[in-house]
Structure 1
């Protein structure tokens, strides 16, 4: 990170950036580094400790905002807050998502399938729609969606379907809005090592059988990479912020795999 900072000390100076899913994991890392590189950053999450994360970016222009992005009203409110606070939106980085359960597809209940799609597709769909009027008024912008290389993988078929939807959304939206100077790209992370979550992915907890299925998925993810390991948070954050930056100005409609060689 220090080498990156020395090379691009103010890569996002003058840019207003909204980062969703910013309370923990990859989203937290993206938000803090974007702020360190000069961005005015709105951190959005439904966890109320997102304000604590915003406060970690000492000396930077940041603000936390609590919203449930599984609702369209939450997405609208988050974008409106960013515009009111900083005057507009230049970059949207969509980090909300994540598999809730790991199990064979035949073992998923209908409500569980719906929950996976609602968590890992709808927030991105809603925020992309909600941010467009603000970017159109501003004369352009950049949207970076977090997809996943798990569009191919075991024990998480509904999540895979949701992330496949994110890829299609990225490509179609990029084609439709390029004429308006709006770039839309995606990063597709693979398995990533991160500190324990403050909010668990599955609030109900995992049974012993579900833990066994999770281990099967972890083994598949690790063995599918060329490098046979999980990535680090820094290895995910850096490509996301490259895609968000002006350095990537000729890249749109692309989904960049960041998964140690496993392209999903």
Structure 2
């Protein structure tokens, strides 16, 4: 079942003539960002390893046709934990549109919640591979096209959990995303490319259709996860989780021409928590 985009804060035409690649866009923040860009007139390429991404893209395409927004959507399956997958996604966008104006790197997320001494080697490596490498690979894959154009914007989705409980490997990965954002911005700013990031806090979302990892089963695992929830709410000045719209809005803004003098910035979107 498809429906028009029903989110908040849409700015009609803001992405007209723009080609945007949004990774991790089968659900959650990535889906909301892709819907927003399509509703604002952009040609959006949705990337995810889950087949669900094709249904989301179809919904955006149909909504754009009904509304006359001028937007469009296509989709591609790719495993962005590999460079080959990132290159596949960028190549698909270039084949369809000939350019990439905006890349939103949204893949990532905590797989396990536990004190650091409870992580084994395999879990640590998987957390880093999930939440750092997709951004590293996608940035590298898109750079040649953006450099040839002499323009482009990369928006990385980091996290305020760089200072948080029971997810040290994830925090380390997102710290890497922050460093990548700032160092790459310095490196390519003089060549017409902006690199920025948001750092979301806790965000309310529908139950995930594709899980990041196993559900907490034991009472101990559930208690470890509850520590994250409690700390997230307590760290927020507003004492609540954000909404998907509240996360998508600054991402879409940062990718737009309205943010043309912003680069190297990491914007916390966490109700006052700076991470």
TM-score tier (shorter): over 0.9
2:75 to 64, 86, 103: 64
Match of 1:24 among 27, 31, 37: 27
Does the C-alpha gap of structure 1 residues 44 and 2 become closer, same or farther in structure 2, counting only changes over 3 Å? closer
> CA offsets, 1:24-50, max 9 Å, x none?
100000001101100000000000110
Q: Which runs of 5+ in 2 are unaligned?
A: 1-5, 66-70
- Taking the aligned partners of 2:190 and 2:132, their CA distance within structure 1 comes to 25
Moved more, 56-65 or 112-121: 56-65
Q: TM-score normalised to the size of structure 1?
A: 0.97
- Distance across 2 between alignment mates of 1:244 and 1:250: 11
Q: Which of 249, 253, 258 is 2:264 aligned to?
A: 253
- TM-score, structure 2 normalization: 0.93
- In the TM superposition, structure 1's runs of 4+ consecutive aligned residues that sit over 4 Å from their partners are none
Write out per-residue CA displacement over residues 202-250 of structure 1, whole angstroms, 9 at most, x where no aligned residue.
1x33222211110111000001100100000000000001100001000
- Is 2:217 aligned against 1:207? yes
Q: Does 1:4 align with 2:9?
A: yes
Q: Give the secondary-structure state (helix, strand or coil) at the position aligned to 2:190.
A: helix
1:38 aligns with 2:53: no
Q: Distance in 2 between matches of 1:78 and 1:137?
A: 18
**How far apart, CA to CA, are the structure 2 residues paired with 1:55 and 1:38?**
15
> Cα gap change, 1:2/1:199 in structure 2, threshold over 3 Å: closer, same or farther?
closer
What is the root-mean-square deviation of aligned Cα atoms in Å?
A: 1.0
The match for 1:155 is: 166
Which residue in 2 is equivalent to 1:97?
108
Query: Matched residue pairs, number?
Result: 261
Gaps of 5+ in 1: none
Give the 5 Å matches for 1:1-264.
4-5=9-10, 8-57=11-60, 58=62, 59=65, 60-202=71-213, 204-208=214-218, 209-264=220-275
SS of residue paired to 2:41: coil
Distance 1:25 1:2 in 2: 13
